[in-house]
Amino acid sequence: MQKIPLMVPWLGEAEIEAVSEVIKSGWIAQGPAVKRFEQAFKERMVSADAVAVANCTAGLQLALIVAGIQPGDEVIVPSFSFIATTNSVIHAGAVPVFADVAIKTGNLTAASIASAVTDRTRAVMVVHQAGVPADLDEIFAYCKPRGLTVIEDAACAVGSTYKSKPIGSHSDLVVFSFHPRKILTTGEGGMIATRNLNWATRLRRLREHGMSMSAADRHATGGVSIENYSEPGFNFRMTDIQAAIGLVQLSKLNDSVQRRRELAARYATYISDISGLHPVVDPPYGTCNFQSYWVELDDSVLKPRNNVMEELESRGISTRRGIMTAHREPACKKYFREPLPISERLSDNSLILPLYHTMSYAEQDHVIESLIQVVR
Ligand SMILES: *Cc1c(COP(=O)(O)O)cnc(C)c1O
């Protein structure tokens, strides 16, 4: 059997066709395909608007700006996340304050947020880690009366749901990633779903150098129009080449999520029976897209997690360590305040198993059987 990879993007002829159409059109930068992708995305996520950006990290940074976060303001984030969550706060000039996560979901809770709040807290960046939805209503109920803006880092959560509605529909700043490690990919790319149309206008301006009228719109008018620049912006645009891929990927999203959930359920059937192993599952209030399928090894597993990973690797199975923690990295150490025992435990004692659209049952069986032999 060939080596089993962790993740394979689900790309095909339709994406190739869509890209060549854009190239033949003569307009490859941000233009009509980006507009179509935004339109289709907002409809699928049941949001009022969606603004495409270069990547999720850039989108998080713009979200912090439109939320009015100022230098010195504190923004609560989970340390248990890819480091981009924390980096976006630092680059917005704000101070990241780490809060711990729940062991079952890997996500912030109202209680963990409450224990990190100070009188300088202005916002909370809630991550739907690995596609597991956070308990949004509980978090909104805590944050709203205190005037704290909630920004959702939904980098991993395209196609996940909270209380039967898609992630992307519940608040005013929900930021997605389309990196190939995520399940809907455009190579690089991101999207900010918002219900606030004024913010959508400002986000579009900020992503394109602060320009009052986009280059594509100026071109489309045919006449002479002079743009102005009301505030310093960024170049965080997505290209039409990426958006064309995104449109095809979005049309495959339901199939993609369905297949991942089917494979995840199959993993769970076998792995839940192995003592000491705790696979990620749907929380009671929502559904996961199983962007990353993580398994926590508890103390009854005598082998260290890294040895388990090495032995699986020697059997031709790629795995990754659990989600990282930011507070133990040199880049973010100085922001560490309160102990984060659950974040550290989850990060150090979990691993991510292979899961991709074209994974066969035979490949999955090999992973399951190997895991059973290795941890026994
Ligand atoms: C992947 C990821 C990001 C970064 O997304 P990019 O599109 O690569 O910028 C941010 N947050 C989380 C939780 C992620 O998993």
- Return the H-helix or E-strand segment holding 295: strand 293-297
In whole angstroms, give the CA distance from residue 88 to residue 96: 9
Q: What is the pLDDT of residues 306-342, one digit of tens each?
A: 999 999 999 999 999 999 999 999 999 999 999 999 9
Q: Supply the DSSP symbol for 180.
A: T
DSSP string, 90-145: HHTT-EEEEE---TTT----HHHHHTT--TTEEEEEEE-GGGPPP-HHHHHHHHGG
In whole angstroms, give the CA distance from residue 102 to residue 115: 13
Residue 122 in contact with residue 75, Cβ under 8 Å?
yes
Residue-level pLDDT at 1: 66
Determine which one of 3, 24, 35, 182 is catalytic: 182
Residue-level pLDDT at 213: 87
Q: Which residues line ligand 1 (CB under 6 A)?
A: 55-57, 81-82, 84-85, 127, 153, 155-156, 177, 179, 190
Residue-level pLDDT at 2: 84
In whole angstroms, give the CA distance from residue 204 to residue 219: 17
Atom of ligand 1 nearest to the CA of 55: 7
In whole angstroms, give the CA distance from residue 112 to residue 94: 20
Give 272 Cα–ligand 1 centroid separation in angstroms: 29
Give 82 Cα–ligand 1 centroid separation in angstroms: 6
Is the sign of the CA dihedral 15, 288, 83, 204 positive or negative? positive
Q: Which residues contact 316 (CB under 8 A, 6 or more apart)?
A: 1, 2, 3, 4, 366
Give 83 Cα–ligand 1 centroid separation in angstroms: 8
* Nearest Cα residue to atom 5 of ligand 1: 56
Residue-level pLDDT at 22: 98
Give 273 Cα–ligand 1 centroid separation in angstroms: 32
Give 80 Cα–ligand 1 centroid separation in angstroms: 13
In whole angstroms, give the CA distance from residue 355 to residue 75: 33
Give 369 Cα–ligand 1 centroid separation in angstroms: 31
Atom of ligand 1 nearest to the CA of 178: 7
Question: Best mutation site among 86, 151, 156 for ligand 1, i.e. most ligand atoms within 8 A of its Cβ?
Answer: 156
Atom of ligand 1 nearest to the CA of 130: 15
* Nearest Cα residue to atom 6 of ligand 1: 56
Residue 216 has pLDDT above 90, yes or no: no
Q: Is 163 a catalytic residue?
A: no
Q: What is the pTM of this model?
A: 0.97
Atom of ligand 1 nearest to the CA of 189: 7
Q: What is the pLDDT of residues 27-66, one digit of tens each?
A: 999 999 999 999 999 999 999 999 999 999 999 999 999 9
Residue 119's CB: how many other CB atoms inside 10 A? Answer: 5
Pairing assessment for the beta strands 350-353 and 320-321 based on DSSP bridges: antiparallel
Residue with structure tokens 């190939």? Answer: 180
| Biggest distance spanned by C-alpha atoms of the chain | 72
Residue-level pLDDT at 218: 84
Residue-level pLDDT at 369: 96
CA count, 13 A, side-chain hemisphere, 234: 20
* Nearest Cα residue to atom 1 of ligand 1: 155
Atom of ligand 1 nearest to the CA of 128: 13
